[in-house]
Structure 1
Amino acid sequence: MPDFPPEAFTRLMPPVRRAPINGVDMAYYEAGPADGPPIVLCHGFPETAFSWRLQIPALAAAGYRVIAPDQRGYGLTPGPDEVSAYDMAHLTGDLVGLLDHLGLEKAVFCGHDWGGIVVWQMPLMHPERCAGIIGLNTPFLPRYPVDPIELFRKMYGPDNYIVWFQTPGEADQVLGADVEKTMRFFMRKPAALREAGDKGSQGGSSFAFGEGLARYSPDGDPNQFLSDEVIGVFTALFQHSGFTGGINWYRNFSRNWRASEGLPQRVEGMPCLMIMAEKDAVLSPAMAEGMERHVDRLEKVLIEGSGHWTQQEAPEAVNQRILDWMRRHFPA
C-alpha cells in the first residue's frame, strides 16, 4: 500500500486537524495568526480542502486565520451512510459546529461550486455566525418555484449529471471504477468542460457526464491543466473516500427544497462578494445577473479566461480579489 495521504498532500497543505462535529470526525486545515479575521474555505465536487492549497498560504501570510475543512463525505472526513445526513441542515450545521470547536463567534465563509451553495445558505439559516460571504463561481440562487430535480429532469433529460446522481449507487460505481480517469475528466480546461455540456439530446445542454466519462480517454489530453502530482493527490483522496458522500449532497436537492419553504430569500446585514469566472460552462457569469435583488451589500468581479476550477486555474487572480475585498471589509 502506498503512503496515505500522499507526500505532495502533506507538503502542500497545513497539518490535518480533527474535530468531533455533529457526529462526524471532521478533518480541517488551519493556517495564519490565531487572532486574525477568520475565513472558512468550502470546497465543491469533486474536490476537497486540497483545492484551496494555493489560497491558504496567501491568505495566512496576509494576516488572516484560514480554515479549510474536508466537508462531510470528502477527503479525510468520513460521512454517514444515510443520504439524509447530507442535507443542508447538516452541511451548514457542520460549519457552525466548526466555529464552535474553534471558539469563533463569526467568520467570513467562502465557497466554490457546491461549497458556494452551502455558504449562501449560511446567512439564511445561521445569520448570527456570518461576518461576510464570498461566492466563487456559485451565485446566490433564490428558492426554485418547483422541485429542482423535476425541473432539471424536464429541462435536460435523465442523463443530466444531477438527475443521474439521484439513482442510488449507479454514479458512485461509475466514477469510482477508475478514479484517476474520473479526476482527469472533470479537472480540465474550460473548452473541454463546455464540450461535455453540449451533448444533450433533449433540447439544450444536459451535462451528461456519465456518457462523457465513458467516451473519455486521458491519454494525450491537451486540456489537462493540473500536474500529474496534483492529479495523483486528488486520485488518492477519492480512492480513500469514494464518491458516495459527495454525490449524496446532490441526492438532497429535493429534500433541501422542501425544507427551505419559509426561509428568508434575501441576504442582508453583511458584505458579500461574487467572483465570476468568464468561461465557466457550469456556473456561468450570466447566472449571477440580478443577484443585487437578493443580496443587499454585494460586489461582483469577473476573472477573465478562467473556467470552472477557478481557484486552481487562476489562483493569483482569485487571491488578489479575495484579499482586496477582505482588506477593505475585514482588515487584518
Structure 2
Amino acid sequence: MSTTRVIKANGIDLSIREAGQGPLVVLCHGWPELSYSWRHQIPALAAAGYHVVAPDMRGFGQSAAPADLTAYSIFDLVGDVVGLVQALGETKAMVVGHDWGAPVAWHAALFRPDIFTAVAGLSVPPPFRGRGKPLDLLRQGGITNFYWQYFQTPGVAEAEFEHDVARTMRIVLAGRGLADPDAAMFVQEGKGFLGHASGEEPLPAWLSENDLAHFTEAFRKSGFRGGLNWYRNIDRNWELTAPWQDAQIHQPSLFIAGARDAVITGLIGSKRVNELERVLPNLTRRLIIDGAGHWVQQERPEEVNAALVKFLKESMPG
C-alpha cells in the first residue's frame, strides 16, 4: 500500500504517494493526470526493493499551483524533482516520466547527471532541440490548429475543460485519439479540443468508473490552469535550453510507448523514436507495446512494470 503526504520541495508544497524502502525512484506523471496514474507501478517497484515516490506534479492535484504562468518552465519542473530528492534526504535517484513527465525526466537526467543515475521515458521521446521555437515552426509549416496552439491563450482551454470535468476526463482518457490518432492532435475550428467526441464513450478495460471518478474529483478541485501552463512555456523552454543544444544523456536509459500512441505515430514523434540513440547513447531498450495507446503504464501495467524492474535491477541495483 502507498501512503500520501505533503512535502516541501523547491519552495512549494508537493503532494506525494510513496511506498517501499531502498534506492529512490521518482515517477513523474503527465497531462492531464496525477500521481494516481502510477497506481500499478508503485506497489510493483516497492516490492522489487525500491523507495518509490510519485508526486502530483506542480500545478496538479493537491500540489501547489503557482499563479505566475512563467513558474512552469522546464527549470521549475526539474527543480521540483531535484528538490524532492533532497527533501527525502537522498543524493541519488532514478527518474521515470510519462507524457509531459517524460521531458521532465529526460531534462532532469540532462541537467543533473550527478543526481539522476538512470532515466526512463514513457510515450514522449527525449529532447531534440530543433532549429527554432516549436510554436514558430508549426506556424511556418502552415499548421494553426495543433493542440499546443489551442492551449496557449489563458482561459480558453480552461473554460472548455472545466465546463463539465467528468465529460472532459472521460473523453481525454477513454476516447480521445483511439479511433483516429490525428483527432488527438488537431483541433477543428469552433469545436474545441473535445469537439470530435460525444462524451458517451465506454470506458476501456484498464480504466474503471472509480478511476475516472478519482481523476474527475481532483480536477474539479484544482482546475486545469496549472497543467495547461506547462504548454504555455514550450517556446520559452526552447530558449532556456540553448546551452544544451545537441547534448546527450549518457546515463542508462529506457524508452517505452504504445504502438497506437499518436505521440509516436504523428507529427512530432515517429522520426524521433527511430533516432533515440542520437540523444541516448546508452539506451538499453526501446519497448513499443503492440495494441497499447498513450496511457501505457495504466493500459499495460504488467509489461511496463516488468520492463521498469528489469531496467532498475540492471542500472540501479537494490
Normalised by the length of structure 2, the TM-score is 0.92
Give the distance between the partners of 2:104 and 2:142, measured in 1 at CA.
24
Q: Out of 121, 140, 147, which is 1:135 matched to?
A: 121
Residue of structure 2 equivalent to 1:22: 10
Kindly tell me: are residues 187 and 220 of structure 1, through their superposed partners in 2, closer, same or farther at Cα, counting changes over 3 Å? Answer: closer
More displaced 10-residue stretch of structure 1: 81-90 or 214-223: 214-223
More displaced 10-residue stretch of structure 1: 169-178 or 274-283: 274-283
Kindly tell me: are residues 16 and 23 of structure 1, through their superposed partners in 2, closer, same or farther at Cα, counting changes over 3 Å? Answer: same
Give the distance between the partners of 2:141 and 2:205, measured in 1 at CA.
30
Unaligned residue ranges in structure 1 (runs of 5+): 1-12
Q: Is the 8 A contact 2:169 2:216 kept in 1?
A: yes
Equivalent residue runs for 1:65-104 within 5 Å:
65-104=51-90
Equivalent residue runs for 1:214-253 within 5 Å:
214-219=195-200, 221=202, 225-253=206-234
More displaced 10-residue stretch of structure 1: 256-265 or 246-255: 256-265
Return the offset for 1:313: 0.5
More displaced 10-residue stretch of structure 1: 209-218 or 230-239: 209-218
Return the offset for 1:326: 1.2
Equivalent residue runs for 1:249-268 within 5 Å:
249-263=230-244, 265-268=246-249
Residue identity over aligned pairs, in percent, reads 39
Give the distance between the partners of 1:107 and 1:220, measured in 2 at CA.
39
Letter in 1 for 2:177: L
Return the offset for 1:156: 6.4
Q: Out of 295, 301, 317, which is 1:309 matched to?
A: 295
Give the distance between the partners of 1:122 and 1:212, measured in 2 at CA.
30
Kindly tell me: are residues 23 and 329 of structure 1, through their superposed partners in 2, closer, same or farther at Cα, counting changes over 3 Å? Answer: closer
Unaligned residue ranges in structure 2 (runs of 5+): none
Q: Does 1:32 align with 2:20?
A: yes
Q: Out of 189, 193, 202, which is 2:177 matched to?
A: 193
Residue of structure 2 equivalent to 1:213: 194
Q: Is the 8 A contact 1:165 1:247 kept in 2?
A: yes
Return the offset for 1:329: 1.9
Aligned Cα RMSD in Å?
A: 2.1
Residue of structure 1 equivalent to 2:277: 292
Give the distance between the partners of 2:140 and 2:158, measured in 1 at CA.
23
Return the offset for 1:217: 2.0
Return the offset for 1:109: 0.5
Give the distance between the partners of 1:283 and 1:118, measured in 2 at CA.
18
Q: Is the 8 A contact 1:160 1:208 kept in 2?
A: no
Return the offset for 1:153: 3.4
Q: Is the 8 A contact 2:14 2:64 kept in 1?
A: yes
Give the distance between the partners of 2:242 and 2:19, measured in 1 at CA.
38
The aligned length equals: 312
Q: Out of 287, 299, 307, which is 1:321 matched to?
A: 307
Return the offset for 1:223: 5.3
Give the distance between the partners of 1:107 and 1:208, measured in 2 at CA.
42
* Runs of 4 or more consecutive aligned structure 1 residues displaced over 6 Å after TM superposition: none
Normalised by the length of structure 1, the TM-score is 0.88
What is the DSSP-based 3-state SS (H/G/I as helix, E as strand, rest coil) of the residue aligned with 1:266? coil
Kindly tell me: are residues 195 and 211 of structure 1, through their superposed partners in 2, closer, same or farther at Cα, counting changes over 3 Å? Answer: farther
More displaced 10-residue stretch of structure 1: 285-294 or 315-324: 285-294
Return the offset for 1:212: 4.9
Q: Is the 8 A contact 1:153 1:160 kept in 2?
A: no
Give the distance between the partners of 1:215 and 1:277, measured in 2 at CA.
22
Return the offset for 1:220: 5.0
